[in-house]
């Protein structure tokens, strides 16, 4: 019954989306408020309808209603409650429902809180949002219905991939979708602006908070996914340049560029058509990411061809959305001339360079991800190549180095015309810090790759550069500490947010460098009680015990790590076997300190009679690896801090406007 309600409201949402994509647009064209307001109401109604649909599906999972195909395929009565709930979006149908739900919630937010938007712009934004929503709702209803019933009703479900039974992964998709779908707002604003033929600083101010929020969520989502891969997949890697990872990384790269160029639109009213193009590209990458992950095209072009229904549907959405947006852009953008002139050496100039490098990086990742697919499709399966981590490492890093050098410099340059000599003058501490970092790293770790000390220098340059810009603005060393404190309070939060995000990037570079340059490992077989000499540490397999968990049985190995006889850490690592799914997972034992992780896993028991008492033991020293996620966290928090800036608060532009009109008569007296 409840599932039928879900089905019913899902269709209502589709109808509402159809109405919402036409009526407000028509109203905006004829400037009729009565028609435009339809957009607001249907946006809110659509969000409510989808909330009900989502609740209905969640109910199905919580009560283990195996008459629903999705629940049967992805859940099991023995599963812990948390993972029953996260199972709602841990599958294709449910995740698409979450996708449109997030979309509808964003639209409803615009409808409710966007009273200060010009009515025609608001109506058009909501109409574009509804078109996206309509396409995806149609996709769900016609190809991926989450409320499809099964008959006869099975006794129990076929479980959920035990790999997904993990808090890190359970909350990774919602965050990722908040990011992906959040960029739809930038997209809708861009298309609406193209239709209106008008982009000004106010437009930039409206787009920016959405972009910031989407970017911060996406940063968090990617970081959480990478952290999960690190501790769950069991070999201590954290980024594999896997197409699924790249699918979320491409919108992030374009979104980062958009974040910076929208600042230029807001502050200087220039770079408009470029920003619009970036908004289109960013959301296109979100759609492409959804397509890559959801269509099965990644496994092989062949699997895509054998079950093409869903893939072709998303491909059509992709073609219409991206193609349509780009055609509209080509028609309208040339008419949007204008914008202040700026010197090549200026804040704008630095931001343009940032945009160019980020775009280049994004295109490189896009190319590497799609190239094998395109080549295989074009040659009819004759010509196949692999594009793996060695390609991405070789092409991506050279683009990042100049970018990072620039990130420290940019904030020191003035808008319009910057003074390079003065900026470099202020970067002297950063340069000294970078030099010291290179020397110290070189002396402390003589064995590692030659580039590692340089990378540490780069991180120091960026980190110290970011901090010294911030401390210069609050006059930390040039005034009384109390004054500095007051200035921190007065400094716009967006400025502090930027510093924090840049600092986060520096911290992340330290982590990436440390974990990839100085990683050390020990791979051996140990009988309980036996000790092996590892890199810098001795590893003893203390014991292996067996036991039973919520819906799995486990072997738990305890590794004692000693440094010159002194115990440093005890690592508990588990191999879990899930009978329902007939799968085994590895839980790594990790000891985290600020200097890095000690990471241990046990493998299989020996297969031959002589080795039957011994277990495979793998032990890794991953230096500085926590800095990666610390850096990502700083970036995301910096994004939210910037979002909380006064001028982004809802209604702020209107309040500022009324304040101005009030002040005018006063000043006349």
Partner 1 sequence: MRQTTIFLLAATLTCLIDITVSVAVEPDEVLDDPMIENRAREISSELRCVVCQNQSIDDSDADIARSMRLLVRERLLAGDSDDQVIGYIVARYGDFILLRPPFQANTLALWLTPPIMAIVIAAVALLYCRTYQRRRIKDTRPHRLSLADRRELEALVNRFAAVNLAPSPHNSLSNEIKEGLNPRDPDANTGEGKPNGDGTPRPA
- Contacts of partner 1 in 261-320 (CB under 8 A): 268-270, 298-300, 302-303, 306
CA distance 358 to 108: 32
Applying the rule CB under 8 A, the residues between 321 and 340 that interact with partner 1 are 337-340
Q: For partner 1, which is the closer residue by CB, 201 or 495?
A: 201
- Answer for the pair 518, 606: CB distance below 8 angstroms, yes or no: no
Cross-strand bridge partners of residue 494: none
For residues 18 and 580, what is the distance between their CA atoms, to the nearest angstrom?
43
Residue 389 binds partner 1, judged by CB under 8 A: yes
Phi, psi of 51 (to 5 degrees): -60, -40
93 versus 574: smaller Cβ distance to partner 1 = 574
CB closer to partner 1, 313 vs 578? 578
Q: Which is nearer to partner 1, 118 or 339 (CB)?
A: 339
Closest to partner 1 by CB, 391 or 442: 391
Closest distance between partner 1 and the C-beta of residue 148, in Å? 23
CA separation for the pair 221, 167 (Å, rounded) = 13
Peptide bond just before 321 cis, omega within 30 deg: no
Q: Give the integer Cα–Cα distance in Å for 597 and 608.
A: 33
Nearer to partner 1, 233 or 326 (CB): 233
Which of 441-475 are b and which e, b meaning 16 or more Cβ less than 10 Å from the residue's Cβ?
A: bbeebeebeeebbbbbbbbbbbbbbbbbbbbebbe
Q: Counting contacts by CB under 8 A, is residue 669 touching partner 1?
A: yes
Shortest CA distance to 246 belongs to which of 369, 163, 132, 363?
Answer: 369
Nearer to partner 1, 156 or 604 (CB): 604
d(CA 392, CA 54): 38
Q: Based on the shown chain and the rule CB under 8 A, indicate whether residue 48 belongs to the binding site for partner 1.
A: no
Contact between 572 and partner 1 by CB under 8 A: the answer reads: no
Establish if 476 lies at the interface with partner 1 (CB under 8 A): no
- Position 580 contacts partner 1 (CB under 8 A): no
The set of residues, in sequence order, having a beta carbon less than 8 Å from that of 408 and lying 6+ positions away, is 427, 430, 461, 462, 464, 465, 466, 502
CB of 616 to partner 1, least distance (A): 6
Strand-strand pairing, 520-526 and 615-623: antiparallel
Among 118, 308, 528, 603, binds partner 1 (CB under 8 A): 603
Question: In whole angstroms, how close is the CB of 246 to partner 1 at the nearest point?
Answer: 10
Span near partner 1 by CB under 8 A; candidates 27-35, 175-183, 561-569, 577-585: 577-585
In this structure, are residues 367 and 394 in contact, taking their beta carbons and an 8 Å threshold?
no
Residue ranges in 337-492 assigned as alpha helix (H): 347-378, 389-409, 420-426, 428-444, 451-473, 481-490
* Residues 173 to 212 in contact with partner 1, rule: CB under 8 A: 200-201
Distance in Å, CB of 237 to partner 1, minimum: 7
Distance CA 651, CA 296 (A): 43
Instruction: Tell me the closest approach of the beta carbon of residue 7 to partner 1, in angstroms.
Output: 31
Per-residue binding letters, 341-380, with partner 1 (x by CB under 8 A): x-xx-------xx--x---x--xx--xx--x---x---x-
Q: What's the min distance (Å) between Cβ of 320 and partner 1?
A: 26
Based on the shown chain and the rule CB under 8 A, indicate whether residue 553 belongs to the binding site for partner 1.
no
Q: Where are the alpha helices (DSSP H) in 63-171?
A: 69-74, 81-86, 92-113, 119-143, 167-170
Give the H/E segment covering residue 570: strand 566-578
State both tokens at 239: 């980024």
Of the candidate spans 47-55, 71-79, 389-397, 637-645, the one that interacts with partner 1 by CB under 8 A turns out to be 389-397
**Number of other CB atoms surrounding residue 650 within 10 Å:** 13
Restricted to residues 632-651, the positions that interact with partner 1 (CB under 8 A) are none
| Of residues 51 and 345, the one with the C-beta less far from partner 1 | 345
Q: Which lies closer to partner 1 via its Cβ, residue 512 or residue 602?
A: 602
Strands 538-548 and 520-526 come out as unpaired
Minimum distance of partner 1 from residue 357's CB (angstroms):
8
Residue 234 touching partner 1 (CB under 8 A): yes
Which 507-536 positions form the footprint of partner 1 (CB under 8 A)?
A: 523-525
Place of tokens 């602006």: 193
Nearer to partner 1, 146 or 534 (CB): 534
Nearer to partner 1 among residue 63 and residue 611 (C-beta): 611
| CA atoms of 463 and 407, how far apart (whole Å) | 10
Instruction: Provide the minimum distance between the beta carbon of 284 and partner 1 in the complex, in angstroms, as a whole number.
Output: 18
* Positions in 68-127 near partner 1 (CB under 8 A): none
Q: Of the candidates 154, 168, 237, 472, which one interacts with partner 1 according to CB under 8 A?
A: 237
Tokens 């992906």 belong to 180
Distance CA(278)–CA(296), nearest Å, equals 27
Binding of partner 1 by 11 (CB under 8 A): no
**658 lines the binding site for partner 1 (CB under 8 A):** no
Residue 487 is a binding residue for partner 1 (CB under 8 A): no
Cβ-Cβ contacts under 8 Å for 518 (sequence gap 6 or more): 445, 448, 452, 621, 623, 624
- Nearest of 102, 93, 82 to residue 177 by alpha carbon: 102
**How many whole angstroms separate alpha carbon 644 and alpha carbon 430?**
29
Of 120-128, 145-153, 235-243, 438-446, the window that binds partner 1 (rule: CB under 8 A) is 235-243
CA separation for the pair 394, 357 (Å, rounded): 15
Nearer to partner 1, 301 or 462 (CB): 301
Burial class (CB in 10 A: 0-12, 13-18, 19+), 6: buried
- Cβ burial of 520 (10 Å; 0-12, 13-18, 19+) is middle
Contacts by 663-668, CB closer than 8 A, 24 or more apart = none
Selected range binding partner 1 among 325-333, 597-605, 629-637, 645-653, rule: CB under 8 A: 597-605
Q: Which of 220, 575, 627, 630 binds partner 1 (CB under 8 A)?
A: 575
Question: What would the DSSP string read from start to end of 99-110?
Answer: HHHHHHHHHHHH
Least CB distance from residue 21 to partner 1, whole Å? 31
Total site size for partner 1, rule CB under 8 A: 73
Question: Is 653 one of the binding residues for partner 1 (CB under 8 A)?
Answer: no
Q: How far is the CB of 431 from partner 1 (least distance, A)?
A: 24
Measured from the CB atom, the residue of 360 and 488 that comes closer to partner 1 is: 360
Kindly state the greatest CA–CA separation across the chain.
Answer: 100
**Residue 585 binds partner 1, judged by CB under 8 A:** yes
Query: Where does this chain touch partner 1 (CB under 8 A) — which range of 169-177, 218-226, 422-430, 596-604?
Result: 596-604
Per-residue x/- track, 401-440, partner 1 (CB under 8 A):
---------------xx-----------------------
Considering only residues 197, 390, 529, 547, which one is a binding residue for partner 1 as defined by CB under 8 A?
A: 390
Closer Cβ to partner 1, 367 or 432, answer by number: 367
């Amino acid at each position: 019954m409840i599932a039928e309600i879900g089905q019913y409201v899902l269709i209502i949402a589709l109808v509402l989306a159809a109405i919402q994509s036409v009526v407000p647009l028509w109203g905006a064209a004829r400037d009729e408020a009565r028609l435009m307001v339809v957009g607001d109401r249907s946006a809110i109604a659509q969000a409510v309808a989808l909330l009900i649909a989502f609740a209905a599906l969640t109910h199905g999972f919580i009560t283990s209603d195996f008459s629903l195909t999705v629940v049967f395929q992805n859940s099991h009565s023995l599963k812990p409650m948390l993972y029953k709930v996260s199972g709602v979006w841990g599958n294709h149908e449910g995740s698409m429902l979450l996708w449109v739900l997030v979309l509808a919630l964003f639209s409803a937010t615009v409808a409710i809180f966007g009273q200060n938007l010009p009515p025609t712009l608001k109506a058009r934004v909501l109409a574009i949002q509804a078109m996206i929503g309509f396409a995806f709702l149609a996709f769900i209803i016609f190809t991926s219905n989450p409320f499809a019933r099964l008959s006869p009703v099975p006794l129990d479900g076929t479980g959920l991939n035990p790999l997904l039974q993990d808090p890190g992964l359970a909350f990774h998709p919602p965050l990722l979708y908040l990011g992906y779908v959040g960029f739809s707002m930038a997209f809708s604003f861009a298309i609406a602006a193209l239709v209106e033929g008008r982009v000004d600083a106010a437009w930039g101010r409206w787009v920016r908070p959405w972009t910031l929020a989407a970017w911060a969520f996406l940063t968090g989502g990617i970081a959480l996914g990478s952290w999960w891969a690190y501790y769950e997949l069991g070999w201590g890697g954290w980024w594999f340049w896997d197409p699924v990872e790249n699918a979320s990384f491409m919108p992030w790269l374009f979104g980062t560029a958009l974040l910076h160029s929208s600042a230029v639109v807001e502050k200087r009213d220039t770079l408009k058509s470029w920003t619009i193009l970036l908004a289109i590209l960013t959301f296109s990458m979100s759609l492409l990411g959804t397509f890559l992950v959801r269509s099965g095209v990644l496994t092989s072009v062949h699997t895509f061809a054998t079950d093409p229904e869903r893939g072709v549907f998303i491909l059509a959405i992709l073609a219409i959305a991206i193609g349509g947006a780009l055609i509209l852009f080509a028609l309208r953008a040339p008419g949007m001339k204008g914008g202040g002139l700026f010197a090549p050496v200026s804040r704008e100039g630095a931001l343009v360079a940032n945009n160019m490098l980020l775009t280049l990086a994004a295109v490189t990742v896009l190319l590497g991800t799609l190239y094998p697919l395109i080549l295989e499709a074009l040659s009819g399966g004759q010509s196949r190549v692999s594009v793996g981590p060695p390609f991405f490492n070789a092409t991506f890093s050279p683009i990042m180095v100049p970018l990072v050098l620039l990130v420290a410099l940019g904030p020191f340059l003035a808008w319009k015309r910057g003074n390079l000599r003065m900026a470099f003058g202020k970067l002297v501490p950063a340069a000294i810090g970078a030099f010291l970092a290179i020397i110290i790293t070189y002396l402390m770790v003589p064995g590692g790759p030659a580039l590692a000390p340089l990378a540490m220098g780069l991180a120091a340059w960026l980190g110290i550069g970011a901090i010294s810009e911030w401390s210069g603005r609050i006059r930390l060393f040039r005034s009384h500490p109390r004054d500095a404190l007051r200035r921190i309070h007065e400094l716009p939060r967006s400025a502090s947010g930027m510093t924090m995000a840049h600092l986060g990037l520096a911290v992340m570079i330290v982590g990436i460098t440390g974990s990839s340059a100085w990683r050390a490992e020990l791979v051996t077989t140990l009988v309980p009680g036996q000790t092996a000499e590892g890199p810098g540490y001795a590893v003893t397999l203390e014991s292996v015990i067996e036991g039973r968990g919520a819906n799995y049985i486990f072997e738990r190995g305890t590794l004692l790590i000693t440094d010159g006889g002194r115990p440093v850490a005890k690592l508990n690592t588990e191999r879990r076997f899930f009978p329902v799914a007939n799968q085994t997972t590895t839980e790594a034992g990790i000891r985290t300190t600020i200097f890095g992780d000690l990471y241990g896993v046990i493998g299989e028991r020996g297969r031959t009679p002589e080795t039957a008492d011994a277990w495979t033991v793998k032990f890794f020293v991953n230096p500085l690896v926590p800095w990666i996620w610390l850096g990502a966290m700083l970036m995301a928090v910096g994004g939210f801090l910037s979002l909380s800036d006064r001028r982004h608060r809802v209604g702020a532009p209107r309040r500022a406007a009324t304040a101005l009109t009030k002040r005018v008569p006063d000043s006349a007296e």
